Chains A and B, each alone.
Chain A
Amino acid sequence: MKIKKNIATSENGFIFNPATGDSFSGNAIATDIIGAMKNGDSEAVIKQSILDKYEVTPEQLNRDWDDWIIQLKEANLLEFE
């Protein structure tokens, strides 16, 4: 699951898709994840870093991860694989 290469992000959560002109704002954790995904980190690595940084159980994170991927698909930010 990769983020499109041309997606621009900023540190304070602003996301811009130059291909469509769409822009988004994300919360802190969304910004962290997009940064890591752009970096090419694997799902497992990203999840572990969230578990280390935030007060959340792996179960809750897994549930929210599925929803996160749906959000990215709906926003047309994912690379086709």
Chain B
Amino acid sequence: MQKLKYERPYIKKLNAGIMNKFGTRTDAQAFTHIDGVAVKSVIAQYGSPVFVLSEKQIRRNYRSAYRAFSTRYPKVQFAWSYKTNYLNAVCNIFHQEGSWAEVVSGFEYRKAIGNGVPGNKIIFNGPNKPKEDLLLAIENDSLIHIDHFEELNLLISLSENLVMKPRVAIRVNMDTGVYPLWDRFGFNYENGEAWTALTKIVNSGKLQLVGLHCHIGTYMLSTNAYGIATTKMCDLAMRCKNQLKQTIEYLDLGGGFPSTNTLKGAYLPGTDTVPSADDFAEVITTTLLNFGFTNDDLPLLILESGRMLIDDAGYLLGSVVANKRLGDGKRAMVVDFGVNLLFTSFWYEHQISPAQDFTPHVENMTVYGPLCMNIDVIRESVNLPLINPGEHVVVHKVGAYNMTQWMQFITERPAVVLIDEQQQSHIIRTSETLNYIEEPESTPPHLK
């Protein structure tokens, strides 16, 4: 006789009271496969925990976002935000789809060059661009987005002895009705600083002013803010043309579009509240088309979206280490991945699914990571079925930032696997080893 699937014995007190309109329902089914590849087989092959990325979903996200903008506006260009996920395999998927590269450091800049991105298709952003990085970007004819006057002055002085004029834009910050204002990057629109910078660039005669850039925030839930930003950018572009006799070739509206993850403290899930790419595209392109540019003068629209294009293509697979009961009787589950790998668990209520069949009984529990640190909490309160130690869980929508902001702490960082469109899995970053981590260390002779 085949034995029944075991689940630890569990009773739950029934409380009469006000109904919870969200209920206690958890996933209806186990999440056993990603793009046709079994979660169990991925863990057996690459270990636990392990990050998994779906190439199919990445391409689907890109195409859908590109379609949202390109069906509304004639000149659209996406630039992949390297800091969101700069694993070379991921970057190259976006480059294959037609994305340029958007980088914010010399390290990322060199990664983009290494990925074969032509220099003139690299956008160099960020508040810290050392002299040698700027010289490299000038040499490669990249688009340099100036963040502050120090950088502007440095660029002018570097250009004194150059034949070619560096192609530059300025980053503009502004009030878009979303607070707190992101005014730490770039030059302010309202107080006239942006205009002063633009005038200085044109008057220097040493730099080619080709664009304007803004990036008004992150995980923006208001499409209206983009309408305001686009209007202000168009106004600057028009003034450049009329007063400085300088045509602005492109407007870079940055990124900041949200994924469908649920923010901590949100009343409704992200899937119900987040505007779609079409919603953002509608506001931005309508503003651009109605501003008064002639057809020939319409600027190229550049977008640097990261999170929206990759978050839901990433999964973190892990295993349950232990179940325990806290002092107040609440359940807790310890899993083998911590906040050092899942940085976004600090601001998202990540969906966690069992990777094997389960019964309808759910318990409210806290999900802890394996780090010996009190802050290592993946979910403070989540209703999950009873999952036995050794069984697996899948965390959803982890593709953005986790694989760049992750931290090596206490253990090695795990492997990253890409499932291609033919349902084949490829390792795109091996799990780290002790040797890899110790390689840059050196011990003075008296301590050996």
Contact = CB atoms under 8 A, between A and B. Distances in A.
Contact of A53 (B3, B8, B14, B323): B3
A67 B325 contact: yes
A64 B359 contact: no
A70 B389 CA distance: 19
A75 B329 CA distance: 11
B329 A74 contact: yes
B388 A24 contact: no
Interface residues of B, number: 20
Interface string B1-39: 001111111111110000000000000000000000000
A43 to B, nearest CB: 13
Interface residues of A, number: 25
B6 A15 contact: no
A60 B388 CA distance: 9
A52 B388 CA distance: 18
A56 B13 contact: no
Given A25-B12, A71-B11, A55 B4 contact: yes
B5 A27 contact: no
B361 interface: yes
Given A27-B359, A60-B389, A67-B325, A54 B3 contact: yes
B405 to A, nearest CB: 36
A30 B9 contact: yes
A23 B329 CA distance: 18
**Main SS at interface, chain A:** helix
**Main SS at interface, chain B:** loop
A26 B10 contact: yes
B14 A27 contact: no
B386 interface: yes
Which of B4, B8, B361 lies at the interface centre, i.e. has the most chain A CB atoms within 10 A of its CB?
Answer: B8
A29 B388 contact: no
A67 B14 contact: no
A33 interface: yes
A52 B13 CA distance: 28
Interface of B: 3-14, 323, 325, 329, 359, 361, 386, 388-389
28 contacts: A22-B13, A23-B13, A24-B13, A25-B12, A26-B11, A27-B10, A27-B11, A28-B4, A28-B7, A28-B359, A29-B7, A29-B9, A30-B11, A53-B4, A54-B3, A54-B5, A54-B6, A55-B3, A55-B4, A55-B6, A56-B6, A60-B389, A64-B9, A67-B8, A68-B9, A74-B329, A75-B11, A75-B13
